[in-house]
Amino acid sequence: MASHRRPKQPNRARVSFLTAAAAAAVALSSQAAVAAPAKPGKDEVKAKVDALYEEAEKATEKFNGAKEQQEKLEKQIGQLQDQVARGQGELNELRNTLGSMASAQYRTGGIDPSLALFLSSDPEDYLDQAAALDQLSGQQVEAVQKIQAKQRTLAQQRQEAAGKLKDLDATRKELGDKKQTIQGKLAEAQKLLNTLTAQERAQLKDEDTRASRDDSARANLGSVKASGRAGAALAAAKTKLGSAYISGHEGPNSFDCSGLTQWAYKQAGVGITRTTWTQAKEGTRIPISQLQPGDLVFFYSDLHHVGLYAGNGMTLHASNPRGGVKYEKISYMEPQFGVRI
């Protein structure tokens, strides 16, 4: 026989506990929903990555400047060290000459006391005593004065070399700091790209490829033809379309922005400096409206990016690690002015 007994009703304490537990579960679910932000979409990731690439490029140009300064200091230090070595040899010869004079004087009647004092004490201290020079012969005075001048020159050169070495240490530290900044920005950008699915990454690549193809076609429609060394530089840069963008590289197979422009003009037989900021000071500055193919074009208010004007409102530049060397509308960036080399 089936039982018709009514189920036992839960007491008030049990109801309160279950209600509180359910409320807590709902609250935790709500918090979890708030704490888990939506995954950024392809376009948002692209915008963030491009911003990181731009920050990395700013650091790259500072790195290039520090590297150029390091090479300059190393060259100057080498020249100073060579000068010091040669000067020390000349000083030794002068002292030998004076010693020969003293020996000859001794053989002919005894060495002059002042000359003996000069030879046996610190010359640099003794030479400052002008009264001692009055007791030497004219030839000996000339020899002593040459030694004095050489010693002072050597002291100045050694001091200058020491200062350059100190500057070099600071420059090397700056290089290390800038390199670390660049690597950090690029690593952050790659981390963002890795959040995309394989399909999203493929779509992003297809979009970049189509844009680059359209920009290339638009650049080839330019009616003004390049000529002279600007034309030769642009022609050289065109041979590097599709090359990789790598911070600090200046060719021949990979470039950063100022590395490409420097390399291109070198192929045209023209030497220009390494960074965007120094390249902006070379040649003749011209407004954007007067650009001709092969002119340098500088972008953004701090001038951290440069390309070659390719005609028809286009630039040929080393863009970023995703785009490499390609054509692009100058209006996509923030063109400031051009420079005609």
Known catalytic residue at 317: yes
What DSSP designation does 9 have? P
Residue 180 is encoded by which pair of tokens?
A: 């670390």
Q: Is 257 a catalytic residue?
A: yes
4 is annotated as an active-site residue: no
ω into residue 252 within 30 of 0, thus cis?
Answer: yes
Alpha helices for 108-197 (secondary structure H): 113-120, 123-127, 130-133, 138-193
Alpha-carbon distance 240 to 235, whole Å?
9
Instruction: Return the closest-CA partner of residue 258 out of 112, 65, 72.
Output: 65
- What does each C-alpha distance from 136 to 35, 100, 102 come to in angstroms? 93, 14, 10
Beta bridge partners of 237: none
* Residue whose C-alpha is closest to residue 330's, from 299, 285, 284: 299
Q: Residue 286: what are its φ and ψ, rounded to 5°? A: -135, 150
Copy the structure tokens of residue 215. 């920009």
End-to-end CA distance of the chain: 107
Catalytic residue ranges: 257, 305, 317
